[in-house]
Amino acid sequence: MAAAGGRVVPHPAHKKHPLPKAESIEVSGIRRAFTHGAAQHLPDADTRLTAERLTERGVVDLRGLERVAPNLTIQSINGTASTNFYLRGIGFNDFTQNNMGPVLAYFDDVPFAYSTMSSGLMFDMADVTVTPGPVGTQHGQSDSGGEIRLRTNDPTDSFHYGASQDIASYARSRSEAYVSGPIADGLSFRLAGQTRHGGGWQTDPLNGDHLGDADEWALRGKLRWQPDSRTTIMLSGHVVQDNSEVVGAVPIHRLIGGAALPTVGWQQSEWSARPEFTRLIGRKDGLKPSEHNWFWGWDLNVRHDFGPVTLTSISAFETEREGEYTDQDATAAAQADTYRTVNANAFTQELRLSNSHPDDRLQWVIGAFYQHTRMNQRFFFDYTDYVPARGYLQATSFGMDQESTSEFGHVSYRLPKHVTIFGGLLHEIDDRSITGLQSEIFGRSVTNFHAESTAAAQFAGQVGVSWQAARNVLLYYKMSKGFKPGGFTANNTQLQAQLAPFRPETVLTYELGLKSDPIPNRLRINAAAFYNDFHNQQILGTVLIPNYGPLSQLTNAPKSESWGFEGTLDIHPFRHLFLTQNLGWQRGNFQDFPTVNRARTNAYYAKTGMWRAINDNFSGVDNGQPKLTLNGQADWRQALSPRYGLEFGPDWSYRGAQALTPGGTGFYRLPPYFLLGAHMTLRPSNEHWQATIYATNILDRHYYTSGGQATTVYMYIPGAPRFIGGRISCGF
């Protein structure tokens, strides 16, 4: 189990089966190893990633994590900084990002209520852990799908500094720097920052305008005070400004109207913002699809060891100020131009009490978590060229208040014969409301909607058993119940009924796992199989507004299920070669899901020119999530001399087809893709610097990362073409 404060508690059977020394091989004095040896004795299916692995694979944002973990999909929303997570197929598409996701992101033990808040913070990283399945009995916020815990580097007791510069195709530039060291006795600091520029690879075929350049900077500061050997107080703060352009969409199919879709090349996208629209939203003429975001926050982590028990307190406040323009119909026509503003704040407080001795037979943690969030959003829509159905400018605004409290506990006990039993319990109360929702059609009408609220009180928990069958083999089985509160759909509201809250989601997960090093230092096999039994799974469905058209609406599938497995294979067959392969496979279907069939409804309109809801029950229909995900890399590590070493090799990733609507086929299904990359790194034995050349998407494959419907068209978001770059870093 993972105890409070991110401390890894060794498996209790270690007293009988002491851990082997860390597997390693020396190449010109450079240590290489299978990492996270102690975690091989923990009953979980977590994917643990070192900072070195993240750098090797070019993972500089959350989306990149899907290239290094199994059964994980992270998709940008319309090419923007906002993201949706899917882990083991659990996730949902929330365009407005005003609801809690089924998979949460943490930075330094702080959960981010809204995923956009975590933008721009993946620099100066220590490690990342991806945890699938229901969580919440050991720390933080409960959730039904899992969590992604990102940990940044802490202050050091001795003086260190370093920097890196990455330059690649399309004038892409990434710069990072840090400085860390002591200030006074027991007091130390760390300051780190990054900037990102360029990299835009799209153009507008109508006028040759450039699109997609990054323009972002971020700073993070940490101050650590250790007044005595038992107490650590860490104060952290960060700020991010993001004025980056977004990736433009490619129209795939005309749903409404007879106008031909624009013919665009692979690296092209059309857009336009009419002067009337830019004046309305208070932006300059010639606005490109882009972000205008500020994020900032602070957290205070206090940890004190009382001897028999350790107390941890984590207080945090996060702020999001977002302005985002997207041309969602991906044409020069003003049929779905959208500008969104978001003002959001989140305060969280966690208290944990745990035993201080990891070798005790009895391991336990109890705690409480509190969260309070507030959000205000306003959407501006330009439908001027969407005639005769609309042909107007529109704005929708609303406020959101949310408050939740939870109490949790987890305990494990070591029995004879290297068997450990464990269990946890969670109780959560969540209240949220949507207020002040107003829809204004400029020059025509203003519609005000009355407030809606929803509340939930649920129990969740976990029970399991693990067996250290041999010194290097662990087997475990666990059952977990996950809970996620309900919420609201708030985008482009036309009827009061659209604000009816969707219900809480619960899932009962069964998991059987294996962790093994059958040939120490040479072969590692980790695998887990799972089955998810959902009740009221939250999913993006469809509602038809009379004389208006179909709109997306978050709703519940009363009964559904999914199952699958994931595994990681690490091989070091001989001195120079290191291989890693992640594999994820999952299937699922709806057992009961009555909703509007969007494909058939759109087809009926195309044939008759009239809107009529074609209702359907998707019982027995596949859930649409990618069935197979693969990613891995091979490294050849070669000594060039006693002082220098060379490392090079390929990396690869594959994601299967994904249905973008329930039961979606044809253009409603995102095609599969395979990507190939490579890198070569030169470094000295003292590790003070390293130089790398790399390439991503070497085969220059044309592929799509996400998609959806925007009024008149169905569109896809294309993935990046081939990038070739170089990176130099140093640290002292």
Whole-number mean pLDDT of the chain?
91
Tell me the mean pLDDT in the region 513-525.
95
Rounded to whole angstroms, the Cα distance separating 115 from 123 reads 17
Alpha-carbon separation of residue 687 from 51, 59, 162 (angstroms): 14, 21, 12
Q: What is the mean pLDDT of residues 622-651?
A: 94
How many CB atoms neighbour CB 75 within 10 A?
22
At 655-709, the pLDDT tens digits run 999 998 888 888 989 999 999 999 999 999 988 999 999 999 999 999 999 988 8
> pLDDT band at residue 436, thresholds of 50, 70 and 90?
very high
The pLDDT assigned to 615 comes to: 84
**Cβ-proximal residues to 614 (8 Å cutoff; 6+ apart), any chain:** 596, 597, 600, 601, 604
Question: Average pLDDT in the 271-277 region?
Answer: 94
Average pLDDT over residues 84-106: 88
Domain ranges of the chain: 4-731
Confidence band (pLDDT; 50, 70, 90) for 494?
confident
Band of pLDDT at residue 21, cut at 50, 70 and 90 = very low
Hey, which residues does 570 pair with through a beta bridge? 524, 580
Beta carbons of 199 and 168 less than 8 angstroms apart: yes
Task: For the beta carbon of residue 640, count every other beta carbon within 10 angstroms.
Answer: 11
Q: What would the pLDDT profile of 363-410 be if each residue is shown by its tens digit? A: 999 999 999 999 999 999 999 998 888 899 999 999 999 999 999 999
**Mean pLDDT within 169-184:** 97
Query: Binning pLDDT at 50, 70 and 90, where does residue 92 land?
Result: confident
In the numeric block, which tokens belong to residue 130? 């991806």
Residue percentage of the chain with pLDDT more than 90 = 76
Q: What is the rounded CA–CA span in Å between residue 490 and residue 553?
A: 9
Helix (H) or strand (E) holding 607: helix 598-608
pLDDT score, position 599: 79
Residue 28 pLDDT greater than 70, yes or no: no
Q: Are 64 and 705 in contact (CB under 8 A)?
A: no
The whole-number pLDDT of residue 33 equals 59
For the ranges 29-38, 134-143, 353-362, the lowest mean pLDDT is seen at 29-38
Q: How far apart are the first and last CA of the chain?
A: 35
The values of phi and psi at residue 571, to 5°, are: -130, 130
Q: Quick one: pLDDT at residue 702?
A: 95
Torsion of Cα atoms, 250 then 254 then 259 then 265, to 10°: 20
Provide the 8-state DSSP code for 56: H
Confidence of residue 12 (pLDDT cuts 50, 70, 90): very low
Per-residue tokens: 73: 């999909």
Q: How far is CA 223 from the centre of its chain?
A: 27
pLDDT band at residue 578 under the 50/70/90 scheme: very high
Looking at 527-541, 586-600, 642-656, which range is the least confident one? 586-600
Question: Is the per-residue pLDDT at 6 higher than 50?
Answer: no
Tokens of 357: 């001795």
pLDDT value of residue 688: 94
At the topology level of CATH, where does 4-731 sit?
Maltoporin; Chain A (2.40.170)
The better pLDDT of the pair 96, 519 is held by 519
Q: What is d(CA 482, CA 537) in angstroms, rounded to the nearest whole number?
A: 11
Tokens 């059958």 label which residue? 518
Average pLDDT over residues 455-461: 94
Question: Nearest-CA neighbor of 657 among 722, 707, 620?
Answer: 707
Is 24's pLDDT higher than 80? no
pLDDT at 23 over 60: no
